[in-house]
Amino acid sequence: MNPLEISSDQLRCLLDEVGKLSLRYLEGLDTQPIVPKISGVEAERMFQGRWPMEGLKDEAVAQLDCIIQNSRAQNGRFFGYVLGSGEPVAAVADLLSSVLNQNVTAWRSSPTGVAIEKAVVSWLADAIGCGGFQGSLTGGGSYANLMALTMAREATQPANVQGLGSRSGVVYASDEVHMSIPKGIALLGIGRNNLRLVPTDESFRMCPEELERMMLRDHAAGAVPIAVVASAGTVNTGAVDPLPQLSEIASRHGAWLHVDGAYGALAAIAVPNRFQGLALADSVSLDPHKWLYQPVDCGCLLFRDPSAARAAFSHTGAYASPLSSDPIESFAFFEESPELSRRFRALKLWLSLRYHGLEAFRQSIKNDLAHARRLAECIVAQPELQLEAPVELSSVCFRYLGKGGLSEDQLNRLNPAILKRLNERGRVYLSNATLRAKFCLRACVINHRTRDADIDSVVPEILATATEVMR
């Protein structure tokens, strides 16, 4: 018997123990502090160290409980970052996905895996009004954005064979762009100096007239427009750029239009009117591990033209050539993506979407949007707090002002201190944003566990924390 094999009885006991631990964690979420009381030194002492020479067996399993106790508890009062809440049905499917261990790189290697991924990608495209778009699941929106930029570069300024050389290509995005875009531009050799940050309006949306002005100036200087990157939900405020106008400008200048919808685009399931023009894009990034509440990782890139994906990514070794000429059985994701080995991400999404149904997800997203508006109303009603941006989706940015008389510098020092202490208290978890040089507290509601009472606890907790900080 191979030393890595375990008996059916051992596996049954292991599955039973992990199931009990998972259930106990979920049942106790609401009563746990969100942030574990553990320091960096303690974490390294507990979980690092040498790889044991002999297997620890049950002793190793026993440490899982310690990991759970020292992990962040993502209950209904977790409003940090832009992170979904880890829907349990999907988590169960994720276990099966790992057991099956399918390499969803081509139909040849995983017929069922490919069929299921194609199905869920099609469901997502239809659900946001982009019927007919194709694509693939990714590790997240950042990777999907990198893929989209690669496709844009190859469509407008082919470089796969000869390289970019001395040609000057330009990418345009708003000054609220996600950090993955300048990262991607750097990785692709376009250079961050060739990213034009377009000013935004009072609602933090990209200004079409400023985009037009910049593109005309660059055209006169001989620069090649590669892409316009619009946002369907900016990371700070959830702003949705004016997509129809940006599409018209990008088309006129021969630029690829990519919509970074990793945060917000899936909300089109619930409020399609806020995403007019989404289907005009050449590509759209999504994150089901945000507004479909899937366990990480689960991103997606949708694109209008599969030939553009193949032009960017197709390069096959003889050992991976398809053995069939059938249009279904010869399909390979690696011809439309940089990845070769790909895990069975689609199974959790497939089971979760089918188990709950579209209407359940639509209602949950509507609940999140309503909770964000409820929180904004609570903030507006409190004189010591000030809302700092419109609440277009589910991101609520605000500041503690106190009784008045504090300077901007003082507020920019006080609010980070409040945020740090608030999260340490462990009852509510927020993140932050900087808007027009103002440090803001930020609550992002993408959480199927959140209830009205969780929202109503935020303002009192902030006021109590501020009092504690200012003593």
- Does residue 87 register a pLDDT over 70? yes
Domains 95-356 and 358-469 equal at CATH topology level: no
pLDDT tens-digit profile of 304-321? Answer: 999 999 999 998 766 666
pLDDT of residue 378: 98
Contacts of the segment 113-119: beta carbons below 8 A, 24+ positions apart: 113/344, 113/346, 113/347, 114/331, 114/333, 116/346, 116/347, 116/350, 117/333, 117/345, 117/346, 119/346, 119/350
Task: Tell me the pTM.
Answer: 0.95
Computed over every residue of the chain, the mean pLDDT equals 95
Q: Are 313 and 334 in contact (CB under 8 A)?
A: yes
pLDDT tens-digit profile of 130-149? Answer: 999 999 999 999 999 999 99
Q: Which range (197-201, 329-333, 444-448) has the least confidence?
A: 329-333
pLDDT tens-digit profile of 194-250? Answer: 999 999 999 999 999 999 999 999 999 999 999 999 999 999 999 999 999 999 999
Q: Compute how many other C-beta atoms are within 10 angstroms of the C-beta atom of residue 60.
A: 10
* ω into 297 cis (within 30 of 0): yes
pLDDT of residue 319: 60
- Alpha carbon distance, N-terminus to C-terminus of the chain: 66
> If you count them, how many residues does the chain have?
471
- Does residue 24 register a pLDDT over 90? yes
Which neighbouring-strand residues pair with 441? 398, 432
Domain boundaries, the chain: 8-73, 95-356, 358-469
pLDDT of residue 107: 93
pLDDT of residue 365: 98
Radius of gyration of the chain (CA): 24
pLDDT tens-digit profile of 106-117? Answer: 999 999 999 999
Q: Which range (29-38, 168-177, 439-448) has the least confidence?
A: 29-38
Residue among 365, 387, 362, 364 nearest 458 (CA): 387
pLDDT of residue 320: 61
Topology of domain 358-469 in CATH is Aspartate Aminotransferase, domain 1 (3.90.1150)
pLDDT of residue 455: 98
pLDDT of residue 318: 64
Cα–Cα separations (whole angstroms), residue 6 to 12, 14, 57, 417: 10, 10, 11, 51
pLDDT band at 49 (very low <50, low <70, confident <90, very high): confident
pLDDT of residue 363: 98
Correct CATH for 95-356 of 3.40.50.2300, 3.40.640.10, 3.90.1150.10, 3.40.50.720: 3.40.640.10
Question: DSSP label at 161?
Answer: T
| Encoded tokens for 292 | 């479909």
pLDDT band at 301 (very low <50, low <70, confident <90, very high): very high
pLDDT tens-digit profile of 146-191? Answer: 999 999 999 999 989 888 877 779 999 999 999 999 999 999 999 9
DSSP 204-215: S-B-HHHHHHHH
